[in-house]
Structures are given as structure tokens and as C-alpha cells.
A and B are shown apart, each in its own frame.
Chain A
Amino acid sequence: DQQVKQNSPSLSVQEGRISILNCDYTNSMFDYFLWYKKYPAEGPTFLISISSIKDKNEDGRFTVFLNKSAKHLSLHIVPSQPGDSAVYFCAASKGGGNKLTFGTGTQLKVEL
């Protein structure tokens, strides 16, 4: 039962353009969402998060949007850079709990 889904296993974008990574969830109890980035042979690193009381959070080139009614969140990267090429995981937690449920990941490739 995949409660957090990333339906696009890969995405290719040109340098300078916008990258949009999508994530859907099924559990309405989730109230805190995070995005992680993972390079090969390294552990995931935290990128940005959003609480369910907000619908947008921005940090530099990265913006996360949350649509609670659609149970959908997205990560926008503008402008995309070659160093952004990595696997991106969305994750969710509920009730202020410790446990994160991760999606399956999207491999982003930013081409010159």
C-alpha cells in the first residue's frame, strides 16, 4: 500500500528552465511534508518542507506547493542547474510523529 506516490520515475529538463516534481498521497492524516535530494553513493539530504497549514513554502530556487484537497504536492526548481541532477524523494508524516513515509523517488536530469 503505497501511501506516498511519485508517478514519474524520471524527468529531464534543460538548464535554466523550471523543473516540476510531483508527489501524491492517499492518507489524509499526513500533515507535514518534506523533499529530500539524493546523489549516488550518498545519503539523502533535506531540501525543503511544508506544514499542512500552509500551501506554499519557498527557499531560494526551491518552492514547494501543497494542495490538500487534491492530496498533491509539487517541488519547483527555478532555474534548474546541472548540479540539481539527483533523485528526489518526497516524504510525509502525520500527527507530529517521527515516522516518515517516503515516495519511490524521481530521477531528475538537468541537461546543458
Chain B
Amino acid sequence: DVKVTQSSRYLVKRTGEKVFLECVQDMDHENMFWYRQDPGLGLRLIYFSYDVKMKEKGDIPEGYSVSREKKERFSLILESASTNQTSMYLCASSKVVPDTQYFGPGTRLTVL
């Protein structure tokens, strides 16, 4: 059974803090993605990675960075959290293209 896990379901941080969101997949997928979901805006792609140490910007990369040191792990980093980064963050992975993306359960981040 395919599995994408995210380190936290709920997270509360203060403005200016550095925030790490971790995602792990056990399907040996090459591709991994970070999205945020906001009401009325759907899912928007922040960053994706098609290989270890490779990354590409998505549609809304500003204020975020990513790290992929191992194939199974993809981290999203908020260098200095701001209130407008309060959102649901979803990680996904996929094998080859075009292909189904499998999603994790999401992390609800609140920045105060």
C-alpha cells in the first residue's frame, strides 16, 4: 500500500520563526511535490523535485525553500514564517510521468 507521511498534522508557530515540514514516501518515487491548499484557491504548487538534490520552483515559491537529500524525503522550509503562510500544506509523490500523484494527510500550519 502506498504511503506518504508528513511529520505533523497540526503546527502552530510564531511570526519570524523558521519552520520545517517533513515528508517521507516509501514507494521509491522519483518525484515529490509540495502544495498549499487555501479556501477558494485550490491546490497551488510551491516546489517540486524530480531527483535527489534537484528542485524546481512551482507557482508560488516565494518565502519557501526545499531540501531533498534522500530519495524518500522532501522537506519544505519557511525561512521566516509570516501570517500569510497560514495554510494546509500537502506533500505528494509520483513515479514516472505522467502519473498519479499520491498525497500525504497534510499539515495544518498556523502562524501567529
Where the two chains meet, the residues of A that have a C-beta atom closer than 8 Å to any C-beta of B are 4, 6, 9, 32, 34, 36, 41-46, 49, 89, 91, 93, 96-105
With both chains docked as a complex, state the minimum distance between the C-beta of A108 and any C-beta of chain B, in angstroms: 15
With both chains docked as a complex, state the minimum distance between the C-beta of A103 and any C-beta of chain B, in angstroms: 6
Are the CB atoms of B97 and A97 closer together than 8 Å? yes
Are the CB atoms of B40 and A102 closer together than 8 Å? no
**A93 to B48 CA separation, bound complex (whole angstroms):** 14
Residues of chain A contacted by B92 (CB below 8 angstroms): 43
B11: Cβ under 8 A from any A Cβ: no
Are the CB atoms of A89 and B42 closer together than 8 Å? yes
Are the CB atoms of A104 and B106 closer together than 8 Å? no
Per CB-CB distance, the 3 closest pairs between chain A and chain B, nearest first, are A43-B103, A104-B42, A102-B43
**A32 to B48 CA separation, bound complex (whole angstroms):** 18
With both chains docked as a complex, state the minimum distance between the C-beta of B37 and any C-beta of chain A, in angstroms: 8
Q: Looking at the complex, which one of B33, B41, B102 makes contact with A104 (CB distance below 8 Å)? A: B41
**A20 to B25 CA separation, bound complex (whole angstroms):** 33
Identify the interface centre among A32, A36, A46, A96: most chain B CB within 10 Å of its CB: A46
Q: Which residue of A lies closest to B6 (CB)?
A: A43
* Interchain Cβ contacts under 8 Å between A and B, 18 examples: A9-B40, A36-B103, A41-B9, A43-B4, A43-B105, A43-B106, A45-B103, A46-B101, A89-B42, A89-B43, A96-B98, A98-B31, A98-B50, A99-B58, A102-B44, A104-B41, A104-B42, A105-B42
Q: Looking at the complex, which one of B41, B48, B90 makes contact with A99 (CB distance below 8 Å)? A: B48
Q: How many A-B residue pairs have CB under 8 A?
A: 59
CB within 8 Å of A: which of B1-53?
4, 9, 31, 33, 35, 40-45, 48, 50
CB contact under 8 A between A100 and B101, given known A43-B90, A44-B43, A89-B42 = yes
Residues of chain A contacted by B9 (CB below 8 angstroms): 41
Residues of chain B contacted by A6 (CB below 8 angstroms): 42
Residues of chain A contacted by B59 (CB below 8 angstroms): 101
**A36 to B101 CA separation, bound complex (whole angstroms):** 10
Are the CB atoms of A104 and B40 closer together than 8 Å? yes
Q: Which residue of B lies closest to A105 (CB)?
A: B42
